Structure 1
Amino acid sequence: MSSEKIKVAITQGDINGIGYEVIFKTLADPKTLEFFTPVIYGSSKVAAYHRKALNISNFSLNSVKSGEEAMPKRVNIVNCLDDNVRVELGKPTQTSGMAAFEALKNAVEDLKNGFVDVLVTAPINKNTIYSDQFSFPGHTEYLAEQFKASSHIMLMVSPKLKVGVVTGHIPLKDVANSLSPERILDKIRVLDHTLRTDFTIRKPRIAVLGLNPHAGDNGLIGDEEINTIIPAIEMARQEGIMALGPYPADGLFGSEQVGNFDAVLAMYHDQGLAPFKSIDFAEGVNFTGGLPIVRTSPDHGTAFEIAGENKADASSFREAVYLAIDVYKRRKMHQEISANPLKKADIRDLEGGN
């Protein structure tokens, strides 16, 4: 497969949101197809509806039964829905959630069969997709279950910053009780491995945030830092991982010091994602570390409020596609080097001396 273009599986996401718009805008330039072969998992009928709503012409789709049949230099589409599916732009509906899940399920099956190489997911609505078949907080947890990944991490990536989280989509009131030295250590390990393997950083420096304001002020504002976070950092350092902290979130993100680290590990969702999106929302990408397959997505949601209005910025989705391809290539190089230690010099060149 090394001589073939990378096949990028793209799920349609919620059909009432901006998924198709950012997909179309990403694939609009014919030169894009020189670098990879896109395979959209969705519906030709739904795609046609969005093309009409967005007044997009000269954009053809090649229908295939699976990613295995995808043709290079064409935008391929695997039809996962029947023709009776109804699009209601800007509205979260049970139908749009079902459509998002069917696309994801088909893409995952092709990934397992080796018909496609990487996965890029358009945004879903967590309320509408939730069902007996999808009882997960989001893509990350579903994919971890499908690919038997016991340890994984949601990692936000941009040219300026990488931010991972210990706890993901859970209520804020449950965060403190969800933390333990073992859980934090597990995330540090996955983050360190991801930075080495997927981003070719030889000796990653990881900043670990505290949970409380001022990182607890030596126990004056909570004791989670003393009893939970610091023990995890110390265990990680005993394993040779360069984990430092805990740092106050406001102080670290508000200073140039954040640039001294290869990644930041936050304790909960908004502690990490709010500053990340404030710093680099346009080019941000959601990457799932720890999976045996490569999966990325844009760092925004379905944006129902502008669906069908041709106002969506495709920058994040475009970066998600490119990051998936880059990580796939880096993993392949690591595999080759592991099989042939004489090629270690090659990885040093790729790392740029990091």
Structure 2
Amino acid sequence: MVKNAENIIVGISIGDLNGIGSEVVLKTFEDSRMLEMCTPVIFANVKMLTFIKKTFQSTSLLHGIDELDQLVHGKVNVLNVWKEGVELNLGKSDVKAGEYAIKSFVAATTALKEGGIDVLVTAPINKSNIQSEEFAFPGHTDYLDQELEGNALMLMVQDNLRVGLLTDHIPLSEVASHLTEELIVRKIETIKQSLIQDFSINKPKIAVLGLNPHCGDGGVIGNEENLVLKPVLKKIFDKGTLVFGPFSADGFFGSNQYEKYDAIIATYHDQGLIPFKTLSFGKGVNYTAGLNKIRTSPDHGTAYEIAGKGIADFNSFKEAVYLAIDVFHSRNQYAEISKKPLRIKEKQL
């Protein structure tokens, strides 16, 4: 069944309560036109969010519910994941804030798995204060990779600029040892399939960046390009995937080479995210490709320094909602097309 736009249920995990997450979420849905595109449900506590919105005079009208079957289309629904009061320390990191961020996120993920929501948009967390015996993951993506089917890949998106990562949240000193043939093949296949089913690009072109300065300068600066990247990329290309590289990372973005490709894969976190965030102008989205469910997030953090001041830019979060909805539609279209048998028109004599 194809859903009407307003009936697409967007689940939202609230993130760190002491950061700007609540502010950007509420600001996004002050525009009533957003409620024509989807039905939001925030996993938090309605009394707490009502208090927070007063700190920056938000005009969002909140509708508290205790079960997902109580949600109302055309309203900003808040599912009460907890009932107790929470002491807020806006602008400061504390363990309690991390604990409630994870309560929200785990509840939203469960709803996503069970079909109670159609897509998930996560507000920023603090990767330090969320750690506990019950939640020992570096962040959202790693937990989703465990809980959902598929292979998670961090894909940063802003319009036609898409930057994926071969390795993400690992120390820089460990990157080279992680660049195995198995990893490269799996990540490229994941991003290729995502471009086809999530972004409706039938024959995607993918660029891969080298690890070392100047791609190793023929082995003078490093051999990972010659020993690993080039042979693997050739194998993948010979099997029909339009993958190119490795390219020297320093000049790739400055020369606008990135505009020729549907996606760029960086070998490590900062190699991809520094140019992406420079070019995306605060409208970038973190999309978790490769999973059987849809999750997006803004490309910024908790921004404690401006929390509660009412000056947070909500554009990245709004774009995260837009992208989640767009991918939902693209996946439905892809599923419908995949079901239809290929019809070959008989040649008329």
TM-score by length of 1: 0.94
Q: Is the 8 A contact 1:66 1:115 kept in 2?
A: no
Q: Is the 8 A contact 2:225 2:246 kept in 1?
A: yes
Q: Is the 8 A contact 1:46 1:87 kept in 2?
A: no
Question: CA offsets, 1:139-171, max 9 Å, x none?
Answer: 11100101143x221000001411000111111
Give 3-state SS (helix, strand or coil) of 1:30's partner: coil
Q: CA separation in 1, counterparts of 2:308 and 2:289?
A: 32
Give 3-state SS (helix, strand or coil) of 1:34's partner: helix
The farther-off stretch of 262-271 and 130-139 is 130-139
Per the alignment, residue 220 of structure 1 pairs with 220
Alpha-carbon distance, 1:251 to partner: 1.1
Question: CA offsets, 1:95-135, max 9 Å, x none?
Answer: 10001000011111111221110000000000011112221
Q: Is the 8 A contact 2:62 2:76 kept in 1?
A: yes
Give 3-state SS (helix, strand or coil) of 1:77's partner: strand
Per the alignment, residue 116 of structure 1 pairs with 117
Matches within 5 A, 1:243-258: 243-258=243-258
| Amino acid paired to 1:272 | G
Question: CA offsets, 1:224-252, max 9 Å, x none?
Answer: 00111112211211321111000011111
Per the alignment, residue 14 of structure 1 pairs with 16
Q: Once superposed, which parts of structure 1, at least 4 consecutive aligned residues long, lie more than 3 Å away?
A: 341-344
Match of 2:33 among 16, 25, 31: 31
Segments of structure 2 that go 5 or more residues without pairing to the other structure are 345-349
Give 3-state SS (helix, strand or coil) of 2:232's partner: helix
Change in 2 beyond 3 A, CA 1:82/1:65: closer
Q: CA separation in 2, counterparts of 1:134 and 1:148?
A: 19
Per the alignment, residue 44 of structure 1 pairs with 46
Per the alignment, residue 185 of structure 1 pairs with 185
Give 3-state SS (helix, strand or coil) of 2:227's partner: helix
Change in 2 beyond 3 A, CA 1:92/1:343: farther
Question: CA offsets, 1:42-89, max 9 Å, x none?
Answer: 111321221121122x42211122333321001101111232321110
Alpha-carbon distance, 1:281 to partner: 3.4
Q: CA separation in 1, counterparts of 2:167 and 2:114?
A: 31
Q: CA separation in 2, counterparts of 1:343 and 1:83?
A: 59
Segments of structure 1 that go 5 or more residues without pairing to the other structure are 345-354
Give 3-state SS (helix, strand or coil) of 1:258's partner: helix
Per the alignment, residue 329 of structure 1 pairs with 329
TM-score by length of 2: 0.95
Give 3-state SS (helix, strand or coil) of 2:33's partner: helix
The farther-off stretch of 299-308 and 230-239 is 230-239
Q: CA separation in 1, counterparts of 2:60 and 2:225?
A: 54
Q: CA RMSD in A?
A: 1.4
Q: Is the 8 A contact 1:337 1:343 kept in 2?
A: no
Q: Is the 8 A contact 2:144 2:152 kept in 1?
A: no
Give 3-state SS (helix, strand or coil) of 1:198's partner: helix
The alignment covers a number of residue pairs equal to 342
The farther-off stretch of 152-161 and 264-273 is 152-161
The farther-off stretch of 130-139 and 203-212 is 130-139
| Amino acid paired to 1:53 | T
Matches within 5 A, 1:52-201: 52-56=54-58, 58-149=59-150, 151-201=151-201
| Amino acid paired to 1:322 | Y
Question: CA offsets, 1:183-228, max 9 Å, x none?
Answer: 1111111011111110011111111000000011111110000111
| Amino acid paired to 1:252 | F
Q: CA separation in 2, counterparts of 1:300 and 1:221?
A: 33
The farther-off stretch of 151-160 and 1-10 is 1-10
Q: Is the 8 A contact 1:7 1:39 kept in 2?
A: yes
Alpha-carbon distance, 1:2 to partner: 2.4
Q: Is the 8 A contact 2:46 2:63 kept in 1?
A: no
What is the aligned-residue identity percentage? 47
Per the alignment, residue 288 of structure 1 pairs with 288
Q: CA separation in 2, counterparts of 1:16 and 1:27?
A: 20
